Chain A
C-alpha cells in the first residue's frame, strides 16, 4: 500500500494543493493570509508526515514485547483495518 513511491506521489499532491490554494484563495485584502496559511500548512504537514514515513521505511529495530498471551497471535486487528 505504501512504499517509496508514496513520497513522490505526496509531493505532487501537495504541490497541486498549493497551486489550487494559490489561485482559489478568496480575493480581497486577506488573500495573502489565505495563501500563506494554506500553503505553509500543507508543507508543514507534509514534512511531518514524510519524516514519519521515512523513519519507518527501513526500520532498524523491530517492536518487542514480553507481555503478550499466545491467544493474541495476530493481534486484535488481523490483516484488515477499519478502512
Chain B
C-alpha cells in the first residue's frame, strides 16, 4: 500500500514488520529502537509466564539496582540533600553499553553497602548519645532528689510519726533515729534501695498506678520532667520524658520495680548515691558525650558527602536503569530461533517510519561491526493495526479530548482535527465576553510563554490540568474574545465600536416619570455592521431580542456542526470502500436531517431576510410552523412564503420515506452480497477453521467484516508463507442477517430520534451564554455599580475595595467556574452530538516502545 503523507486527518498507515536480529546485538538494536520510539512490539511468547522468559535474570538484577537507587533517593530526601534535576540529562543520554550497566550495578552495590554501614553506625552512635543524655538528666535530677531527701529528714520523720501504718518509712525513721548525728546517712545502711531511670511522659501515670498496686504502696517515688524533648534515634521523632527515682525497701521489691519499669519502656540508669561519686559520674558522662558528638559529626559529614556525590548522578543512573529494564522487557517479547541464532520480533510501526527504522538498524549494525544484517520484513496481515495519530504539543490536548471518548478505528476520520476549532468555538459561543476571554487568553499565553519552567516545576492537580490544556485554553480565549465582540459584551458592559443603528427620539418636554418608556427608531438603511447593537444594552426588552437571537443562533450552529460531522461519515464510507454506507446510511440520513432541520434553518434565515413591516405583513412564528408541519401537514396558518404548504408536505414525505431506506437497504444489500459471494464459491477463511479455532467475540461490526474478509483472504493465500505466526482466530465472523438487521434498526431509531434531541441539545449554547451574561451583569451591579454611586472619600475607598471584590469574583466565578462548565458542555456536544454522527471507534491505541514516553510516565515523581 502506498503510504501518503501522515496527517492528523486520519491515523497513520501502519505496517506489521518482522525483525531478524542477530543475537549478539539484540540489546543494542532494541535500545536504538527505544530511542526512536516508533515501534510497538507484539508479544511472541504469550503463553510463557514472566518467570520463564529469557531475560528474567537481567530484569531481576536491574530491579535490584533500581531498589538500591531508590534507597539512595530515600536517604537523600531524608537528609535533605539536593539532587541534580533530571532535565540536565534526558537529552544527551546515549544508550548505555553493557559494561556500563555492569559497572553501575557493581557501583550501586558497593555504594549501598557503604551508605548502609554509615547509616547503621550513625544510628548506633545516635542511640548512644541519647542514652548518655538521658543518663546525664537522671544524674542531675536524681542528685536533686537525694539532696532534698537529706534536707527533709525531719519532715519525713514527722510524717512517719503521724502515720504509723507506713512500715517502709518506719525503717527510715529507725535508721535515722539510731544514727542521727551524721547527716550523710547512707541509704544502704537503712536497707533502702532505689531505682532511677527515664520513662516517656505519657506512660508516667500508668507506671505510677501499676507500681502502687503491685507494691501496695511500699515505695517512695520522686519524679521530674525533662524540659527538652529527647529524640528517639530509631523513629526519628521527639519524645518528652520524665526522670524518676523510686525508693523501696528490700531487694525483691527493687527487682520487681526494675522489671515493671523495663516492661513499660523505661530505661534504667546507674546512679551512685554518694555525692562525690555522682559528681565523677557526671564528669565522665559529659566527656563521653563530647567525644560522641565529635564522632557523630564526622559520620554525618561523611554520609552527607557520599550522598551528595550520589545525588549528582542519581537521576542519570535511574534513567539508565529504567531504559535498560525497558529493553529487556521488550527483548522478552521476542522469540529466539536457536538454529539460526537470531532473535525474531514482530512490531507495528508507521509505514512512513520504515526508512528511518532501517537506517537506524543499519547504523547499529555498522557500529557493532557485524556482517549479518538486521532484516526488516513487512508482513501482510489481516490483523487490525493500531491507531496512531501523531500529535505535537498544540494538537495533543485536542486529540486527548477525542481519545478520552474512544480510540478511533484504524484510518477513520479523526475528529481531533476539526475539534481544534469547533471545540473552542462552541465553548466561546457560551462564554462570549471580550473581557473574560481576554483574561483567559492572557492566562493561556502566560502558561505557553513560561512553558519550560512550568513543565519542570511541581504542579498540583488543578493547575496541571489547566497547563495540559493550555493550547485549548488559548484557542478558547481567542474565540471568546471574538464572540464577546459579537455579543457586544465586555465584563457585561456594552462596547460601542460603531455608530448605533438605533436612536432615541425624546418627545418635547420628556419626563421619565410621566411619559414612561420610549422606543428607539431605526437609522434608515443602516444595519449595525459587526455584532449586536450596543443600544440594546440595558433596555427593557433586551432579553426579548437577545433570547430570540441566541436561540436561533444555537439552532443554526448546531445544524452546521451536525451537518459537518455527518459529512465525515461520507468520507469514512469512501475511505473504507463501503458504498452501501453511503447509499444506506449517509444519504438517507442526510435527507432526513436536512428536510426537517435544514428546512428549519432555511426558514430562520428566510424570515430574517424579509422586511416584514415594509411588506405590511405579520411575521409568522417559526416554532408553531415546525410543529404544525408534523401535526397537520399542508395547512398553513401564518404564511411564510408562497407554496409553503406543498413544500412542507414534500419535505415531510421525503423524510418519512428515508426511514424504511435507512432500515432495510443496508442489511438486505449485505445479505444479497453475501449470498452472491457464496454462490461463486468464496468462503471466509475463518469459516472452515471455525470448528477448532477459539471462538472470538472481538468483532461486532457484523456485516462489515464478512464483506471485508473477501479481499484479504485472496491476498493471504498468496502471502501465506510470510504469515508465520498468524492467527486464525481474528476478525472472521460468519454473516448473520438477524444481527445486522438488529444493528441497523438500532442505528435508525437512534439516528432519527437523535436528530431531534441533538438539535434541541444545542440550545444549551443559548442557555449558557444567557446565564453567563446575566451572572456578569449581576456581579457588576452588586459590586462596582454600587461603588460608582458613592461620592467623596468613601467613594474612592469603596471603588478600591469593590474593584478587588469584583475582579476576584470575575476571575474565580465567571472565568474559572463558568469556563469549566462551558467547557464541559462543549465537550458533551462533541462527544455525543457530533461524534455520534460518524465516529466508529473500536480502535486499538498505538503504544510504541519509546524511552521518552516511558521516562515521562515513570519519572514524574523525580521532579
Q: Which A positions have Cβ atoms within 8 angstroms of B? A: 1-4, 6, 29-33, 36-37, 40-41, 44-45, 47-49, 51-70, 72-77, 79-83
Contacts of A67 in B (CB 8 A): 512, 538
Task: Provide the bound-state CA to CA distance between A64 and B540, in Å.
Answer: 6
| Cross-chain contact A36 with B418 (CB below 8 angstroms) | yes
A53 is contacted by which of B392, B510, B527 (Cβ under 8 Å)? B527
**Nearest 6 A/B pairs, CB to CB:** A2-B529, A32-B7, A40-B421, A54-B608, A63-B539, A66-B517
| Cross-chain contact B527 with A3 (CB below 8 angstroms) | yes
Contacts of A52 in B (CB 8 A): 486, 531-532, 549, 553
The verdict on B302 contacting chain A, using a C-beta distance below 8 Å, is no
Measured CB to CB, the nearest residue on chain A to B417 is: A36
| Cross-chain contact A77 with B540 (CB below 8 angstroms) | no
Measured CB to CB, the nearest residue on chain B to A47 is: B560
Contacts A40-B422, A66-B512 hold; do A2 and B526 have CB atoms under 8 A apart?
yes
Contacts A33-B394, A81-B497 hold; do A56 and B429 have CB atoms under 8 A apart?
no
Q: Which B positions have Cβ atoms within 8 angstroms of A? A: 5-9, 390, 392, 394-395, 417-418, 420-422, 425, 429, 479, 482-483, 486, 496-504, 506, 509-512, 516-522, 525-533, 535-536, 538-542, 544-545, 548-549, 552-553, 556-557, 560, 605, 608-614, 619
Contacts of A29 in B (CB 8 A): 5-7, 390
| Cross-chain contact B504 with A74 (CB below 8 angstroms) | yes
Task: Provide the bound-state CA to CA distance between A81 and B605, in Å.
Answer: 29
Contacts of B7 in A (CB 8 A): 29, 31-33
Contacts of A6 in B (CB 8 A): 527, 529
| Cross-chain contact B500 with A32 (CB below 8 angstroms) | no
| 26 A–B contacts, CB within 8 A, in A order | A3-B525, A4-B609, A29-B5, A30-B392, A31-B7, A32-B9, A33-B7, A36-B418, A37-B420, A40-B420, A44-B422, A48-B557, A51-B557, A56-B528, A56-B533, A57-B608, A58-B611, A62-B520, A63-B535, A63-B539, A64-B520, A66-B540, A70-B506, A70-B512, A72-B504, A82-B497
| Cross-chain contact B518 with A51 (CB below 8 angstroms) | no
| Cross-chain contact A61 with B544 (CB below 8 angstroms) | yes
| Cross-chain contact A47 with B608 (CB below 8 angstroms) | no
Measured CB to CB, the nearest residue on chain A to B5 is: A29
Contacts A36-B420, A40-B422, A52-B549 hold; do A68 and B504 have CB atoms under 8 A apart?
yes
Task: Provide the bound-state CA to CA distance between A63 and B556, in Å.
Answer: 24
| Cross-chain contact B498 with A75 (CB below 8 angstroms) | no
Contacts A33-B8, A44-B422, A57-B608 hold; do A64 and B500 have CB atoms under 8 A apart?
no
Task: Provide the bound-state CA to CA distance between A30 and B390, in Å.
Answer: 10
B545 is contacted by which of A49, A51, A59 (Cβ under 8 Å)? A59
Contacts of B395 in A (CB 8 A): 33
- Residue from A30, A32, A62 whose CB has the most chain B CB atoms within 10 Å: A62
| Cross-chain contact A58 with B511 (CB below 8 angstroms) | no
Measured CB to CB, the nearest residue on chain B to A49 is: B486
Contacts A48-B553, A56-B532 hold; do A65 and B538 have CB atoms under 8 A apart?
yes
A66 is contacted by which of B516, B522, B527 (Cβ under 8 Å)? B516
| Cross-chain contact B556 with A79 (CB below 8 angstroms) | no
Task: Provide the bound-state CA to CA distance between A65 and B496, in Å.
Answer: 18
- Starting from the known contacts A44-B425, A47-B560, 16 additional A-B residue pairs (CB-CB under 8 Å) come to A1-B498, A2-B528, A29-B5, A29-B6, A33-B395, A49-B531, A56-B501, A60-B613, A62-B519, A62-B521, A63-B520, A63-B539, A64-B520, A68-B518, A75-B535, A76-B496
Shortest distance between the CB of B603 and any CB in chain A (Å):
12
Contacts of B418 in A (CB 8 A): 36, 40
A58 is contacted by which of B482, B538, B541, B610 (Cβ under 8 Å)? B610
- Residue from B392, B429, B545 whose CB has the most chain A CB atoms within 10 Å: B545
B526 is contacted by which of A1, A74, A81 (Cβ under 8 Å)? A1
Contacts A58-B609, A62-B519, A83-B498 hold; do A36 and B525 have CB atoms under 8 A apart?
no
Task: Provide the bound-state CA to CA distance between A32 and B6, in Å.
Answer: 9
Shortest distance between the CB of B608 and any CB in chain A (Å):
4
Measured CB to CB, the nearest residue on chain A to B525 is: A3
| Cross-chain contact B526 with A66 (CB below 8 angstroms) | no
Measured CB to CB, the nearest residue on chain B to A54 is: B608
Measured CB to CB, the nearest residue on chain B to A82 is: B497
Contacts of A54 in B (CB 8 A): 605, 608-609
Shortest distance between the CB of A65 and any CB in chain B (Å):
5
Contacts of B611 in A (CB 8 A): 58
B612 is contacted by which of A2, A4, A44, A58 (Cβ under 8 Å)? A58
Shortest distance between the CB of A27 and any CB in chain B (Å):
10
| Cross-chain contact B557 with A63 (CB below 8 angstroms) | no
| Cross-chain contact A61 with B512 (CB below 8 angstroms) | no
Contacts of B542 in A (CB 8 A): 63
| Cross-chain contact A55 with B499 (CB below 8 angstroms) | no
Contacts of A32 in B (CB 8 A): 7-9, 417
Shortest distance between the CB of A78 and any CB in chain B (Å):
9
B552 is contacted by which of A55, A65, A80 (Cβ under 8 Å)? A55
| Cross-chain contact A55 with B549 (CB below 8 angstroms) | yes
| Cross-chain contact B497 with A60 (CB below 8 angstroms) | no
Contacts of B614 in A (CB 8 A): 58
- Residue from A30, A53, A59, A74 whose CB has the most chain B CB atoms within 10 Å: A59
| Cross-chain contact B541 with A64 (CB below 8 angstroms) | yes
Contacts of B5 in A (CB 8 A): 29
Contacts of A79 in B (CB 8 A): 499
Measured CB to CB, the nearest residue on chain B to A51 is: B553
Contacts of A41 in B (CB 8 A): 421, 425, 479
| Cross-chain contact A57 with B609 (CB below 8 angstroms) | yes
| Cross-chain contact B503 with A51 (CB below 8 angstroms) | no
Contacts of B530 in A (CB 8 A): 49
Task: Provide the bound-state CA to CA distance between A49 and B526, in Å.
Answer: 16
| Cross-chain contact A63 with B605 (CB below 8 angstroms) | no
A36 is contacted by which of B421, B504, B533, B553 (Cβ under 8 Å)? B421
Task: Provide the bound-state CA to CA distance between A14 and B210, in Å.
Answer: 93
Task: Provide the bound-state CA to CA distance between A21 and B483, in Å.
Answer: 22
Task: Provide the bound-state CA to CA distance between A52 and B525, in Å.
Answer: 17
Measured CB to CB, the nearest residue on chain A to B553 is: A51
Task: Provide the bound-state CA to CA distance between A16 and B541, in Å.
Answer: 39
Contacts of B529 in A (CB 8 A): 1-2, 6, 53
B519 is contacted by which of A45, A55, A63, A69 (Cβ under 8 Å)? A63
Contacts of B499 in A (CB 8 A): 77, 79-81
B527 is contacted by which of A2, A33, A70, A73 (Cβ under 8 Å)? A2
Contacts of A4 in B (CB 8 A): 609
Contacts A33-B8, A48-B429, A55-B549 hold; do A64 and B517 have CB atoms under 8 A apart?
yes
Shortest distance between the CB of B502 and any CB in chain A (Å):
5
| Cross-chain contact A33 with B420 (CB below 8 angstroms) | yes
| Cross-chain contact B497 with A45 (CB below 8 angstroms) | no
Task: Provide the bound-state CA to CA distance between A49 and B542, in Å.
Answer: 19
Contacts A52-B531, A66-B518 hold; do A61 and B420 have CB atoms under 8 A apart?
no
Contacts of B511 in A (CB 8 A): 70
| Cross-chain contact B549 with A81 (CB below 8 angstroms) | no
- Residue from B506, B525, B544 whose CB has the most chain A CB atoms within 10 Å: B506
Shortest distance between the CB of A1 and any CB in chain B (Å):
6
Task: Provide the bound-state CA to CA distance between A52 and B520, in Å.
Answer: 19
Contacts A66-B512, A77-B499 hold; do A60 and B528 have CB atoms under 8 A apart?
no
Task: Provide the bound-state CA to CA distance between A45 and B425, in Å.
Answer: 8
